[in-house]
């Protein structure tokens, strides 16, 4: 019998594409050019976890002669290193498709950088949802549960796809603007990634209850939604944006003329 987590994973993927792909489609003036980007990041979560994060943690642990599987009992600096490793690796890999010429050629303005980054981040989130579902199924512990018992997984993955989209949008927008904005974009995406992971870290340390952990997951989502809306408005109003790239929902009057 197929593990029931796969049914919920399929539902999570469909809803995420519908919600966040639809958001991209709506706010870019019903443009379909961004949809193919949702494919590029699908394998990147598995690569991040199986190749880069695991190997980098193992190499540093061996060099420092730290026993494996110590968890929080490991030296504080090594625990901090492993915490930083996730945003460092994932934020870098999510932007990797920009190395493809057709992708980078799409980043011609702040508005397009925003939506290219958002699509690439959502794509990473979709792959992450599939990777986690596979891991849960392989563990076998929850295979006897019905598919509707995984609603927590569904809610978390929907929020995670949006979060990855916003973080990558910040990074790609910084890359498009160049100069110090590149460092700012990378630093901001990493910092916000750590902020998103904070509830999980605090719960693992047993510093917060399970109820508070569930509630605290909503707070980062609200923060990211506010940041994303501010970025969207700033990109829409930027002088370098080409008219017609996005739907204009309102226009300002300036000295009697429309901008």
Distance (Å, whole) CA 251 – CA 12: 37
Extents of the domains making up the chain: 5-242
Question: Nearest-CA neighbor of 166 among 101, 80, 210, 227?
Answer: 227
For the chain, 259 residues long, give each residue's pLDDT as a single digit of tens: 789 999 999 999 999 999 999 999 999 989 999 999 999 999 999 999 999 998 898 899 888 888 766 676 778 888 888 889 999 999 999 999 999 999 999 999 999 999 999 999 999 999 999 999 999 999 888 888 999 999 989 998 999 999 999 999 999 999 999 999 999 999 999 999 998 888 877 877 778 887 787 777 788 889 999 999 999 998 887 644 455 444 444 444 444 443 3
Copy the structure tokens of residue 133. Answer: 């579902």
What backbone phi and psi angles, to 5 degrees, belong to 253?
A: -90, 130
Model pLDDT, residue 79: 83
Whole-prediction pTM: 0.86
User: Given 3-state DSSP classes, what are the helix, strand and coil percentages for the chain, each rounded to the nearest 5?
Assistant: 75, 0, 25
Q: How far apart are the first and last CA of the chain?
A: 60
**Which 8-state DSSP code applies to residue 254?**
E
Give long-range contacts, CB 8 A cutoff, 24+ apart: 204-207. 204/72, 205/72
Specify the length of the chain in residues: 259
List of residues 6+ apart from 53 with CB closer than 8 A: 85, 86, 89
Question: Nearest-CA neighbor of 78 among 90, 86, 66, 69?
Answer: 66
**Which 8-state DSSP code applies to residue 245?**
S
Q: How many helices (H) and strands (E) does the chain have?
A: 12, 2
Question: Nearest-CA neighbor of 26 among 122, 113, 115?
Answer: 115
Model pLDDT, residue 243: 55
Copy the structure tokens of residue 105. Answer: 């050629």
Contact by Cβ (8 Å): 98, 171: no
């Amino acid at each position: 019998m197929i593990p029931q987590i796969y049914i919920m994973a399929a539902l999570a993927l469909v809803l995420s594409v519908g919600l966040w792909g639809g958001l991209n489609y709506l706010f870019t003036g019903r443009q379909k050019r961004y949809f193919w980007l949702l494919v590029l990041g699908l394998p990147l979560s598995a690569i991040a976890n199986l190749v880069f994060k695991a190997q980098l943690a193992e190499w540093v642990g061996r060099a420092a002669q730290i026993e494996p599987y110590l968890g929080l009992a490991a030296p504080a600096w090594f625990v901090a290193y492993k915490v930083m490793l996730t945003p460092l690796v994932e934020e870098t890999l999510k932007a990797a498709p920009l190395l493809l010429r057709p992708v980078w050629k799409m980043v011609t303005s702040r508005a397009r950088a925003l939506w290219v980054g958002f699509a690439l981040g959502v794509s990473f989130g979709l792959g992450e949802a599939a990777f986690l579902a596979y891991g849960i199924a392989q563990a076998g512990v929850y295979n006897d549960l019905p598919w509707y018992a995984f609603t927590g997984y569904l809610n978390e993955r929907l929020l995670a796809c949006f979060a990855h989209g916003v973080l990558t949008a910040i990074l790609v927008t910084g890359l498009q603007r160049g100069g110090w904005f590149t460092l700012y974009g990378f630093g901001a995406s990493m910092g916000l990634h750590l902020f998103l992971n904070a509830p999980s870290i605090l719960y693992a340390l047993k510093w917060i209850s399970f109820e508070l952990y569930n509630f605290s997951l909503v707070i980062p989502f609200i923060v990211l939604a506010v940041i994303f809306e501010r970025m969207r408005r700033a990109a829409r109003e930027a002088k370098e944006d080409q008219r017609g790239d996005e739907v204009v929902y309102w226009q300002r009057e300036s000295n009697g003329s429309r901008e």
